[in-house]
């Protein structure tokens, strides 16, 4: 078994180091290989996703990804920007299903942006489509006849793209509380009308799952008003991006939310995937040793579960994180004073 580790930019390498300490402590005999990605790769190799990095990811059993994004690169042509690396990996590796769980950890209710009694009910999974939508449609800027500049991004979903993510979401709901909420903007967008029609067609194959539909603006409000109503949410690429950052503050911090990006390729022990925190490279705190590494460590747990079939080890890592939180070990993002490596120490002690 080989894991490709792509630390990336900003806090990426800092949090990756803690996840790799946890992996080493598990002593599973798994090989790791590290490669450059993002702004770091651009500065060294002239491209945010060098061919060697993509090859390494392709030939691995799973990819552990830190974060990309570098303010020095914000004025580069779009195809050279660090963010293109993660979009390129998701697309080239066919990782269309993004699982973003948000669960309230015991003892952290007071850190939620919501009232503790509202926050304590949060146990939801956002299933975000990851290979389509306005992210991957044609985009450009042009000058109109009257001289005004115009920018456009083409939003689309084909029915097979909706169908395959709907199946992932229905199956996820079957393994949880059996409730699926499809979030769209069908009152305005044709893309969303097709999305809703196809989700309803797929629902016929899952009579044991209770399907509901919600407009995205209402969903954003309901996530704050009564997040306990949600079990599984399935939504498109853009809405899923936004709602998952919002869900993170409902459970206390963006430094807690892990994710799995899965496709169809099987590894023999599970499904090939890329695992990363939902947050970015956090340039505002990079290099200060205060980033929360828990989302990264929990992403490693998801990797062990989904790609390597190591459920027991995954649960062990998750339990160590929740015990550290229950014991009050938190960094600045959660009102505490522990630094990145102290949080790592605390998780290791509890493994």
Ligand X SMILES: CC(C)[C@H](C(=O)O)[C@@H](O)C(=O)O
Question: For this structure, is 9 an active site residue?
Answer: no
Least distance in angstroms from the C-beta of 245 to Mg ion:
6
Q: Which of 86, 233, 234, 325 binds ligand X (CB under 6 A)?
A: 86
Residue whose CB is less far from ligand NAD, 68 or 251: 68
Question: For this structure, is 245 an active site residue?
Answer: yes
Q: Choose the binding region for ligand X from 34-42, 79-87, 295-303, 340-348 (rule: CB under 6 A).
A: 79-87
Contacts by residues 265-270 (CB-CB < 8 Å, ≥ 24 positions apart): 265/94, 267/61, 267/62, 267/307, 267/308, 269/1, 269/61, 269/307, 269/308, 269/309, 269/310, 270/305, 270/306, 270/307, 270/308, 270/309
Task: Please report which helix (H) or strand (E) contains residue 34, including its range.
Answer: strand 31-34
When CB distances are held under 5 to 8 angstroms depending on the partner's kind, the choice from ligand X, Mg ion, ligand NAD, none that residue 50 binds is none
- Is there binding between residue 301 and ligand NAD (CB under 6 A)? no
Task: Spell out the residues 6+ positions from residue 327 whose beta carbon is closer than 8 angstroms to its own.
Answer: 346, 350
Least distance in angstroms from the C-beta of 280 to ligand X:
6
Asked if 164 and 156 touch (Cβ cutoff 8 Å), the reply is no
3-state secondary structure of 351: coil
- Quote the CA–CA distance of 89 and 49 in Å, as a whole number: 8
- Quote the CA–CA distance of 230 and 239 in Å, as a whole number: 16
Task: Please check if 84 is assigned to a binding site.
Answer: no
Least distance in angstroms from the C-beta of 47 to ligand NAD:
16
- Is there binding between residue 258 and ligand X (CB under 6 A)? no
Least distance in angstroms from the C-beta of 168 to ligand NAD:
20
Asked if 231 and 212 touch (Cβ cutoff 8 Å), the reply is no
Question: For this structure, is 123 an active site residue?
Answer: no
Residues 93-122 that bind Mg ion (CB under 5 A): none
List 43, 123, 215, 245, catalytic entry? 245
Q: Choose the binding region for ligand NAD from 27-35, 120-128, 149-157, 283-291 (rule: CB under 6 A).
A: 283-291
Residue whose CB is less far from ligand NAD, 139 or 225: 139
Task: Please check if 21 is assigned to a binding site.
Answer: no
Task: Spell out the residues 6+ positions from residue 124 whose beta carbon is closer than 8 angstroms to its own.
Answer: 101, 102, 103, 227, 230, 231, 232, 233, 247
Four-residue CA torsion sign, 262, 347, 17, 32: negative
Asked if 13 and 66 touch (Cβ cutoff 8 Å), the reply is yes
Q: Which of 276, 307, 308, 313 binds ligand NAD (CB under 6 A)?
A: 276
Question: For this structure, is 153 an active site residue?
Answer: no
Task: Please check if 281 is assigned to a binding site.
Answer: yes
Task: Please check if 288 is assigned to a binding site.
Answer: yes
Q: How far is CA 111 from CA 106, 297, 319, in A?
A: 11, 20, 19
Question: For this structure, is 157 an active site residue?
Answer: no
- Quote the CA–CA distance of 237 and 90 in Å, as a whole number: 12
Four-residue CA torsion sign, 153, 157, 161, 162: positive
- Is there binding between residue 255 and ligand NAD (CB under 6 A)? yes
Least distance in angstroms from the C-beta of 324 to Mg ion:
25
Report the interface residues with ligand X, using CB under 6 A: 83, 86-87, 241, 278, 280
Active site positions, annotated: 135, 185, 217, 241, 245
Binding site as annotated, residues for substrate: 90, 100, 128, 217
Report the interface residues with ligand NAD, using CB under 6 A: 11, 67-69, 83, 86, 254-255, 276, 279-285, 291-292, 295, 333
């Amino acid at each position: 078994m080989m894991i490709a580790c792509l630390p990336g930019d900003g806090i990426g390498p800092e949090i990756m180091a803690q996840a790799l300490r946890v992996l080493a402590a598990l002593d599973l005999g798994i090989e790791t290989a590290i490669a450059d990605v993002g702004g770091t790769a651009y500065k060294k190799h002239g491209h945010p996703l060098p061919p060697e990095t993509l090859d390494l990811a392709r030939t691995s059993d799973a990819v552990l990804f830190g974060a990309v994004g570098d303010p020095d690169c914000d004025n580069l042509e779009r195809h050279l920007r660090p963010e293109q690396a993660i979009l390129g990996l998701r697309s080239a590796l066919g990782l269309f299903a993004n699982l973003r769980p948000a669960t309230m950890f015991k003892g952290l209710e007071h850190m939620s942006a919501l009232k503790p009694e509202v926050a304590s009910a949060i146990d939801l999974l956002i299933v975000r489509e990851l290979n389509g939508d306005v992210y991957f449609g044609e985009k450009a800027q042009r000058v109109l006849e009257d001289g005004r500049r115009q920018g456009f991004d083409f939003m689309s979903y084909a029915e097979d793209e909706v169908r395959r993510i709907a199946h992932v979401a229905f199956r996820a709901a079957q393994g949880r509380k059996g409730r699926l909420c499809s979030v769209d903007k069908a009152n305005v967008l044709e893309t969303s009308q097709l999305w809703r029609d196809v989700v309803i067609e797929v629902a016929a194959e899952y009579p044991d799952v209770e399907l509901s539909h919600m407009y995205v603006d209402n969903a954003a409000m309901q996530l704050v008003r009564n997040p306990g109503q949600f079990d599984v949410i399935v939504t498109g690429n853009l809405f899923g991006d936004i709602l998952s950052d919002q869900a993170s503050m409902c459970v206390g911090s963006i430094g807690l939310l892990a994710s799995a990006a899965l496709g169809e390729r099987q590894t023999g022990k599970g499904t090939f995937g890329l695992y990363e925190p939902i947050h970015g490279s956090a340039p505002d705190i990079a290099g200060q040793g205060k980033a929360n590494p828990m989302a990264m460590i929990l992403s490693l747990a998801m990797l062990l579960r989904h790609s390597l079939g190591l459920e027991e080890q995954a649960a062990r890592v998750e339990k160590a994180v929740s015990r550290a939180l229950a014991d009050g070990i938190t960094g600045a993002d959660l009102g505490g004073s522990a630094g990145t490596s102290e949080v790592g120490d605390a998780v290791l002690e509890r493994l």
